[in-house]
C-alpha cells in the first residue's frame, strides 16, 4: 500500500511539472482580483439615487469577458455592504449595466473595453479594468507588479460621476489620479 501512495505522489508531482508555471500564476492573479472586486464596495460612497433601494443587493457586473468564473461568485457571497448582499451579474455588453454599482469591464469580440467604458460614461458606477486585457482604464485598474496584484485609482473620474473613494482604499493604490 505504501508503494501505491509513493506512486500517486510521484504521478501528481509529474503532472504538476507538466503544467506551465504561468498557469498557476494566472489562476492566482484571477483569484486575488476576484477577492478584491466585491470588497471595493465597502470603500466607495455612491450618490443616493445609485444606491439599491430597500433590501436589494449591491450589484457587481462583469461586462464582456469573464476571467473569474465561480471565484467571483464565491468572493461576493462572503461580502456585504451596509448589510446588503452583493450579487454578481454577467453581461455581454454595456447596454444592460443599469442597476450595477460596480462594473468589471473586460471587453469582448464585439466591443472593446474602451468602447464599453465610453458607453458607461456618466453613469454613477465604479468601473474596474485589468491591465492584462488592454490599455483602457476604469476608475480602478488592476496591474501585476513584482508578481503581486496591485491597482491604480482614478479618483478624478470617480468624482465626476458622483462617487467618493475612501482614503483607506486610496492609500492601498500604487498610483492615484487626484481630483
Task: Please report, for the chain, how many H helices and E strands are present, in that order.
Answer: 6, 10
Higher per-residue pLDDT: 55 or 4: 55
pLDDT at 31 over 50: yes
Going by C-alpha positions, the residue among 133, 131, 124, 114 that lies closest to residue 165 is 124
Mean pLDDT of 2-17: 36
Could you tell me which residues come within 8 angstroms of residue 147 by beta carbon, excluding any fewer than 6 positions away? 25
Q: pTM score, two decimals?
A: 0.83
Q: What is the pLDDT of residue 9?
A: 37
Q: What is the largest CA-CA distance in the chain?
A: 67
User: 134-170, pLDDT tens digit by residue?
Assistant: 778 999 999 999 999 999 999 999 999 999 999 999 9
- Tell me which DSSP letter residue 175 carries: E
Place of cell 471587453: 107
pLDDT at 23 over 80: no
CATH number of 22-177: 3.40.50
Could you tell me which residues come within 8 angstroms of residue 72 by beta carbon, excluding any fewer than 6 positions away? 34, 37, 38, 60, 62, 66, 88
Mean pLDDT of 100-115: 90
Mean pLDDT of 26-37: 87
User: 61-80, pLDDT tens digit by residue?
Assistant: 999 999 999 999 999 999 99
How far apart CA 112 and CA 62 sit, in angstroms, is 14
3-state secondary structure of 60: strand
Amino acid at each position: 500500500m505504501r508503494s501505491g501512495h509513493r506512486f500517486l505522489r510521484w504521478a501528481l508531482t509529474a503532472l504538476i511539472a507538466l503544467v506551465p508555471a504561468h498557469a498557476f500564476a494566472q489562476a492566482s492573479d484571477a483569484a486575488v482580483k476576484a477577492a478584491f472586486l466585491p470588497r471595493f464596495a465597502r470603500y466607495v460612497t455612491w450618490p443616493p439615487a445609485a444606491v439599491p433601494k430597500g433590501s436589494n443587493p449591491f450589484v457587481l457586473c462583469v461586462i464582456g469577458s469573464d476571467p473569474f468564473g465561480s471565484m467571483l461568485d464565491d468572493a461576493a457571497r462572503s461580502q456585504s455592504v451596509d448589510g446588503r448582499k452583493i450579487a454578481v451579474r454577467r453581461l455581454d455588453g454595456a447596454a444592460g449595466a443599469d442597476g450595477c454599482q460596480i462594473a468589471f469591464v473586460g471587453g469582448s469580440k464585439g466591443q472593446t473595453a474602451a468602447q464599453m467604458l465610453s458607453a458607461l460614461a456618466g453613469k454613477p458606477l465604479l468601473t474596474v479594468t485589468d491591465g492584462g486585457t488592454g490599455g483602457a482604464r476604469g476608475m480602478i485598474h488592476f496591474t501585476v507588479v513584482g508578481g503581486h496584484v496591485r491597482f491604480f485609482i482614478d479618483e478624478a473620474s470617480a468624482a465626476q460621476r458622483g462617487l467618493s473613494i475612501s482614503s483607506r482604499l486610496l492609500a492601498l493604490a500604487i498610483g492615484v489620479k487626484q481630483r
